[in-house]
Amino acid sequence: MARRLAGRKTARGHSPGRENPASMTLNRVCGFFKGYSRAGDRVVAVRDAARETGRRRGRTSATAQLGVAMGTLKDRTALVTGGGRGIGRAIARRLAADGALVAVHYGSDGSSARETVAMITGDGGRAFPLRGPLGVPDDVRTVYERLDAGLNGLGEPAVLDILVNNAGFNVRGGVTEVTPQDFDRLMAVHAKAPLFLVQEGLGRMRDGGRIINISSAATRVALPSSLAYSMAKGALEALTRTLAKELGPRQITVNSVAPGFVRTDMNRQRWATAEAEAVHAAYSVFDRMGRPADIADVVAFLASADSRWVTGQCIDASGGTGL
Ligand SMILES: NC(=O)c1ccc[n+]([C@@H]2O[C@H](COP(=O)([O-])OP(=O)(O)OC[C@H]3O[C@@H](n4cnc5c(N)ncnc54)[C@H](OP(=O)(O)O)[C@@H]3O)[C@@H](O)[C@H]2O)c1
């Protein structure tokens, strides 16, 4: 039977007005961002100090080295689609470092997904890989059958607390190049699959759950060469706002995160040469391309209890692209 959010809080001993581990995590993350916003060298100093603290305590995980409190997502189960590589890998690692058991979903690249799982377990976290191509018949049913099987194999109940709709790809093309087939594939993976993953997942999702959709700054900053991709992400953002209203009574929050240009396989050509990277770095006020962890840290906040009053929003995580 679904447990109420308030019940879980009481069980964890968090009382209003007292700083809980989730707040401490955010405070530390905010401290990290504050340092970052002042100057690049301050970031390095903050990060190095945190690493030193982690070393002194004998911790080895990347997250421990960043001084992030462990365990704020303890007893939570997360499904991260496209968790094998790129942004999804960083999200999976971060949620696992925060204590969640993570299903690392992937489409076809099993070795990357297994590598992600190995990274998580090597850091002391819990995860398992889950293959499930999206945009094909029975895609959603397959994902949940395998999720349930993976949880069952670990002796865990078939429940879900955090769904991150991250899997995606781009087919570039402006108005004269885009094809109906590309449009259908993009809509199938970026909009249709998230909707039906939610529909099928709601029966498993405990009250107080989190749905986080990875959108793109391309819905706000016009990129003519990514026309159909931008439209698919626009649909995902509409899904976010509308679902947030419907799921509010269950204390489930629904938000999107919109990255700018991030250094991943998806847009390798944008950073294949120093010249190309400089062009795309210049979109950000920080004059660099995003890193997967830049996005994962925002997702971690939205997955945490600290974000309980934030829903139906699209959080820009593009380093100030288009300001
Ligand atoms: N990178 C950027 O600059 C950027 C900017 C804005 C938004 N985004 C969004 O961020 C998300 C992650 O992108 P990324 O840059 O991390 O991409 P990536 O490194 O190419 O990784 C994409 C992930 O999605 C999975 N995936 C792709 N198509 C799939 C399908 N049909 N079925 C199942 N899984 C599929 C891949 O699975 P396999 O590993 O099995 O192939 C992989 O795990 C995407 O939604 C993307 O639109 C990225």
Closest CA to 62 of 128, 122, 118: 122
- Quote the pLDDT of residue 7: 31
Domains of the chain (ranges, CATH numbers)? 21-70 (no CATH), 71-317 (3.40.50.720)
Distance from the alpha carbon of residue 168 to the mean position of ligand 1, in angstroms: 4
Q: How far is the CA of 106 from the centre of ligand 1 (A)?
A: 9
Q: What is the mean pLDDT of residues 159-165?
A: 98
Instruction: Report which residue type is found at 84.
Output: G
> pLDDT > 70: what percent of the chain?
78
Asked whether the predicted pLDDT for residue 254 surpasses 60, the reply is yes
99-108 mean pLDDT: 98
pLDDT of 70 reads 56
Distance of alpha carbon 298 from alpha carbon 217, whole angstroms:
15
Report which secondary-structure segment, H or E, holds 23: helix 21-38
Number of helices followed by number of strands (H, E) in the chain: 12, 7
Return the residue whose CA atom lies nearest to atom 46 of ligand 1. Answer: 168
pLDDT (mean) for 246-271: 97
Task: Give the per-residue pLDDT at 194.
Answer: 98
Q: How far is CA 126 from CA 103, 180, 246, 279, 302, in A?
A: 9, 41, 31, 39, 20
Place of tokens 């007005």: 17
Pocket test of ligand 1: the residue of 79, 87, 277, 321 to mutate, having most ligand atoms within 8 Å of its CB, is: 87
The chain-wide mean pLDDT, for the chain, equals 84
Q: How far is ligand 1, taken at its centre, from the CA of residue 50, in Å?
A: 30
| Half-sphere exposure at residue 170, Cβ-oriented, CA atoms within 13 angstroms | 23
Query: Which residue out of 102, 114, 131, 169 has the highest number of ligand 1 atoms within 8 Å of its CB and is therefore the one to mutate?
Result: 169
Q: Largest Cα–Cα distance of the chain, in whole Å? A: 59
Say how far apart CA 116 and CA 64 lie, in whole Å.
Answer: 17
User: Where do we find the tokens 């959709």?
Assistant: 213
168-176: Cβ within 8 A, 24+ apart: 168/82, 168/214, 168/266, 169/266, 170/226, 170/229, 170/266, 170/267, 171/228, 171/229, 172/225, 172/226, 172/229, 173/225, 173/227, 173/228, 174/224, 174/225, 174/227, 175/224, 175/227
- Percent helix, strand, coil in the chain (nearest 5)? 50, 15, 35
**What are 197's two structure tokens?**
């993953």
Is 106 one of the catalytic residues? no
**Structure pTM?**
0.83
**pLDDT over 80 at 25, yes or no:** no
Residue 128 has pLDDT above 80, yes or no: yes
pLDDT reading at 180 higher than 60: yes
Residues with CB under 6 A from ligand 1: 82, 84-88, 106-109, 112, 133-135, 166-169, 189, 214, 216, 259, 261-262, 264-267
53-64: per-residue pLDDT in tens? Answer: 333 333 334 444
